[in-house]
Each structure stands twice: as C-alpha cells, then as structure tokens.
Amino acid sequence: MALALDIQGLYKMYKGGWSPALDGMDISVRENQLLGLLGPNGAGKSTTINILCGLVMPDKGTAKIFGKDCVADTVTVRSVIGVVPQQIALFGQLTAWENFRYFGRLYGLSNTQISERAGNLLKRLGLDTHADKRVGRYSGGMKRRANIIASLLHHPQMLILDEPTAGVDVQSRAMILDFLKEYNAQGKTIVYTSHLMEEAEQICDEVVIIDEGKFITKGAPKELIDNTPGCNRLEDVFLHYTGHSVRD
Ligand SMILES: Nc1ncnc2c1ncn2[C@@H]1O[C@H](COP(=O)(O)OP(=O)(O)OP(=O)(O)O)[C@@H](O)[C@H]1O
Ligand SMILES: [Mg+2]
C-alpha cells in the first residue's frame, strides 16, 4: 500500500537549543493506518508534527505526505491534512460557530458547506447544544472536541493530532477515541500522539516509539509486547526502549 507519510532523516536544531530536537528521524505510515507516535517529553513529537504542517522548517531531511513534500509543497499538503495542535488553536472570544465559519472560509468552503459539515460534527462530538457559546468558556474536553471539528471541516485525508486526550475527562476521552476509530474506518489515515500507553494499546494498529529526536522502534502493540522480553503491556515496552530517567 502507498505511504501516507514518509519522513526520512529529519534534523532540526532550534536556535539556542542544547541538542537537536530531531536527529535523523525516520517514520513511515501506510495509508489508512491509525498510528500512535509515542515518546517521552522532549522526544520530538510536536516538532515533527509542526514540520508536517509547515510551521517549523527542518534543517535537513525530507517529509512527504501522500508523496507531496511538506516544505516545498506546503499548500497542497495543508489541503489534505487536518491538524489538531498540542495547544488549543481556536479563538476563545468567539463562539464555536464563529470559529468554524472563520476556519471554514480559510479553506474556501461556502457557508452552506460549513453549516452542514460543522453541524454534523457538532452532533457527533456532543457539542451541538453549546455551539453558540464562547469557546473560552468551554471545559478542556469541549475545547479539544471543538478543535477536532475545526481541523476536519475540509474533509482531510489524513488527521494529525498532538495529544488530543491530554487533560480531558474519561467521557470526553472515550468520545474522542471512538470518533478517531470511526474516522479511520472511513479510509482516513490518523497519526496521533499520547502519553497514555494503555490508550494507544487500545486504539492503534501500529505505534512508533521515538526518543531524543530519533526513531526507536515500530510495530503493532501486541507484536511489540510479544517480541520484547518481560513485557506484558505497551507501557513495559515503552520503558524498555526509553528507560526510567525523567526528561528535564
Ligand atoms: N521553539 C522551540 N525553541 C527551542 N527549543 C524547542 C522549541 N520547541 C521545542 N524545543 C525543544 O525541542 C525538543 C523537542 O521538543 P518537542 O516539543 O518536539 O517534544 P515533544 O515530544 O512534543 O514533547 P512533549 O511530550 O513534552 O510535548 C525539546 O528539547 C524542546 O525543549
Ligand atoms: Mg509535544
């Protein structure tokens, strides 16, 4: 099957950084995978995602989405991906509807398209009765779900989410995870990051473990658990490869 995401030798040193954020990162994702990108704090997950959507320029290496280069062809790449960043990227002083109209127009959608698409997603993600409220007053889980809606208005073929379940309650998390599985079942590719190993074990068909800006290993959760001595859970595998020392 064709590669949805093909990252080769990505290197990024931020100005004033102590060490490279990415140090020869290689990641490949097949079409229609639901892939978990796992790594300790500072491993380079967000830097990788920010390069994919054109927010950060790599120093070396290549990143391609459906064959299009994320640096040279940012506009095309942005049209086929939806990105939910680690920090909520919505206007807090605007209502959800106002946010969706704004982002929908940026994607060149008509008001009718925005109303129909956002309306369906608001219902699916349990926000239809809150759509006229200011996003700044939403709970953490509501903000995450609203941000997911904003990233999907242009019907992207690939959805990239940076810690979409961080700081959300059990109910919101279950709704988000069910939704991701459902979107994936419609033939879409999903790459998402999380620090919750149990969650990744539950929903991902494959996970990639990275650390210190480098690829470490990849596989189906069960396959990684079975093939790593003394491991019964994905968390054991993660600790086996990334160690126990904290990343300060
Ligand atoms: N804008 C920046 N300027 C300087 N250094 C940065 C910047 N953004 C990230 N870094 C550094 O780059 C490294 C990788 O950071 P990144 O945010 O990509 O990691 P992460 O895997 O997303 O971590 P987390 O799990 O904490 O979100 C870290 O050492 C971080 O301190
Ligand atoms: Mg991050």
The tokens for 182 are: 């459902």
CB 45 near ligand 1, within 6 Å: yes
- What's the length of the chain? 248
pLDDT, position 2: 73
pLDDT, position 21: 98
CB 17 near ligand 1, within 6 Å: yes
Give which of 83, 80, 86, 82 is closest to 66, Cα–Cα: 80
Neighbours of ion ligand 2 (CB under 5 A): 45-46, 86
Distance (Å, whole) CA 13 – CA 179: 35
pLDDT, position 101: 98
- Boundaries of every domain in the chain: 3-92+157-242
Distance (Å, whole) CA 159 – CA 140: 20
Distance (Å, whole) CA 246 – CA 232: 22
Low-confidence ranges of the chain (pLDDT < 70): 1
Give domain 3-92+157-242's CATH number out of 3.40.50.300, 3.40.710.10, 3.40.1160.10, 3.30.56.10.
3.40.50.300
Q: What is the DSSP string of 161-188?
A: EESTTTT--HHHHHHHHHHHHHHHHTT-
Q: Is this structure's pTM higher than 0.85?
A: yes
